[in-house]
Structure 1
Amino acid sequence: MRLRSLLYVPGSSPRFLEKAHERGADAIIVDLEDAVAPSEKESARAALGKNLPMVGQRGAIVIVRINTHDEAAMLADAAAACEAGADALYVPKVSSPALLHRLDRHLTPIETAKQRSPMRFVPLIEDPIGLQNVASIATGPRVFALSAGGEDLATSMAAQPTPEVLRLPKLLIHYAAKAAGIMSFGLLRSTADYADKVALTAAIREAKDFGFDGATCIHPSVVALLNDGFSPSGAEIDRARRLIEAADAAAADGVGAFVFEGKFVDLPIVTRARALLTRASH
């Protein structure tokens, strides 16, 4: 699965929902949480049956961000998303795996009755308790990726969402995801200022260097930046192919480490090149 770009769309906005499938995002997150006014949450939930097939009509992964502020809303959102055919849930404010286990127990009989595959989870780490428990959250039921809720995380610490404040928490979440063998979404800064394309491009390049798989965005103009930034470039692909050819030739001669284009190469570098080509083939 390749998820470079995950575009948030308010679940109560027909104008944005109708256009979401045209934006080129790898995944569409239909938001029932922060982007929806309290008075519109029930109608947004009820509309999932119509909206999810619409946003996913060109093959994007369809995800629903649910409410977790109280259990009744959480379970109702999760059930509606399941009934509507969502591929996954974005689960905000996860402080421990207990919340994920509760959702798992709730969804299993619904999925069995509908004879559908299990939905998967992306926990959002948004407070210091979740940050302390992130390793156990990463190995919780149905989890296939982790992400940080930068604005909420900063707010929970009485901090400002500056790059310096968010960098260490986001890296800790990222490392927990990689240790668990799952995907990691995010940039090492807040993504609220989507108009600053220069800064965004630099942040995407940095996140790619750190091994992040993709990131969310709130504006469709950012999708192309994410798709391009989290994809191997033509030059990277070409170099990886040449490096692997040289590695195969060296191995045939019984040589492990060798020099390629003036640089020392050993097994980790070859492994990284092969992984890059695998990503490119997707």
Structure 2
Amino acid sequence: MIRSLLYVPGNMPRFLEKAGQRGADVVIIDLEDAVPDAAKTAARDALSQSVAMIGGRVFVRVNMNERLMDDAVAAVRAGAEALYLPKVSNVDTLHRLADHLAPLERDRAPIAFVPLIEDPEGLFEARSIAKGPRVLGLAAGGEDLATSMGAMPTAEVLRLPKLMIHYAAKAAGVLSFGMFRSTVDYSDIDGLRNAAREARSFGFDGASCIHPSVVPILNEGFAPTEDEIAWARRVVDAARAEAAAGRGAFTLDGKFIDAPIVTRAERVLGKVQS
């Protein structure tokens, strides 16, 4: 599972030192918006030390401009698992990047991509982007997406575009990250908790955050509850018994159970085991 992804500025050693201890499933070292222009090269040059310092699963958010290729190469050499790619508007960007990095990856697994959809053009290309090379998952950049439309990043504004990106990810069989709200207001604990649970009910896999206090909220919100785990175990156990008796559909706790519901229960248990 990737329930929580914690952004950490790539030019802040005191934050990077503690990032691996915050409980996030993934730490995203940010070379883009969180780093001022004057510090971007130094942050890139420090990636090897930063990735090693964090340990665990590390992604790198690169700059989607003339710095892209150098940022990506540095992330590969530092041993990062994936690139968070902002402002992806078409799949051609992914093909060019994959071709550029392939010669450097003979001794390691190819670095994965997580495209961020942050404008209307990318929104309408989300299906092709999701099916592009190396895509691990998709996410929407809520603040940028709203700004590109001249809108405010409210839950109402973000719901439809985030669902479109989410559906594109699920159609392609990749992960989907996000909630129906911006995470900039990290002090709204109850709002974030409700948003995480809501997003999981739609099938989102996890979400990113910019403050470590949000990490446990996401870890809890995107994980199955104890009641859901217990239900899933009952369903799977009953399904095995019914199958042995030659029955594919049955009732459990007064409710009808058939193949899609069994699959849902198996997926719940799969998340616990992962």
TM-score when normalising by structure 2: 0.98
Does residue 27 (structure 1) correspond to residue 26 (structure 2)? The answer is: yes
Query: Once structures 1 and 2 are overlaid, which stretch shifts more, 94-103 or 248-257?
Result: 248-257
SS of the equivalent of 2:20 reads helix
Cross-structure match for 1:254: 246
Matches within 5 A, 1:105-124: 105-112=99-106, 115-124=107-116
Cross-structure match for 1:237: 229
- Report how far residue 263 of structure 1 moved: 1.3
- Report how far residue 234 of structure 1 moved: 1.6
- Report how far residue 15 of structure 1 moved: 1.2
Distance 1:188 1:253 in 2: 44
Render the CA deviation track for 1:91-129: whole Å, top value 9, x for unaligned. Answer: 0000001111111111111223xx121100000000000
Does residue 143 (structure 1) correspond to residue 135 (structure 2)? The answer is: yes
Matches within 5 A, 1:107-186: 107-112=101-106, 115-186=107-178
Render the CA deviation track for 1:190-236: whole Å, top value 9, x for unaligned. Answer: 11111101000000000111111111010001111111111111221
Distance 2:245 2:13 in 1: 62
- Report how far residue 188 of structure 1 moved: 1.2
Distance 2:46 2:104 in 1: 18
Does residue 100 (structure 1) correspond to residue 94 (structure 2)? The answer is: yes
Q: Structure 2 unaligned runs (5+)?
A: none
Does residue 39 (structure 1) correspond to residue 38 (structure 2)? The answer is: yes
Read off the aligned partner of 1:20 and give its amino acid letter.
Answer: A
Cross-structure match for 1:66: 62
Distance 1:246 1:43 in 2: 58
Distance 1:117 1:267 in 2: 36
Distance 1:81 1:252 in 2: 51
Q: Structure 1 unaligned runs (5+)?
A: none
Correspondent of 1:219 among 185, 189, 211: 211
Cross-structure match for 1:274: 266
Correspondent of 2:182 among 187, 190, 196: 190
Read off the aligned partner of 1:89 and give its amino acid letter.
Answer: L
Distance 2:61 2:153 in 1: 21
SS of the equivalent of 1:22 reads coil
Distance 1:178 1:202 in 2: 22
Alignment size in residue pairs: 274
Does residue 80 (structure 1) correspond to residue 74 (structure 2)? The answer is: yes
SS of the equivalent of 1:124 reads strand
- Identity, in percent, stands at 61
SS of the equivalent of 2:139 reads strand
Distance 1:4 1:54 in 2: 22
Does residue 205 (structure 1) correspond to residue 197 (structure 2)? The answer is: yes
Distance 1:38 1:266 in 2: 56
Distance 2:217 2:152 in 1: 25
Distance 2:95 2:38 in 1: 29
- Report how far residue 74 of structure 1 moved: 0.5
TM-score when normalising by structure 1: 0.95
Distance 1:46 1:252 in 2: 60
RMSD: 0.9
Cross-structure match for 2:8: 9
Distance 1:247 1:97 in 2: 42
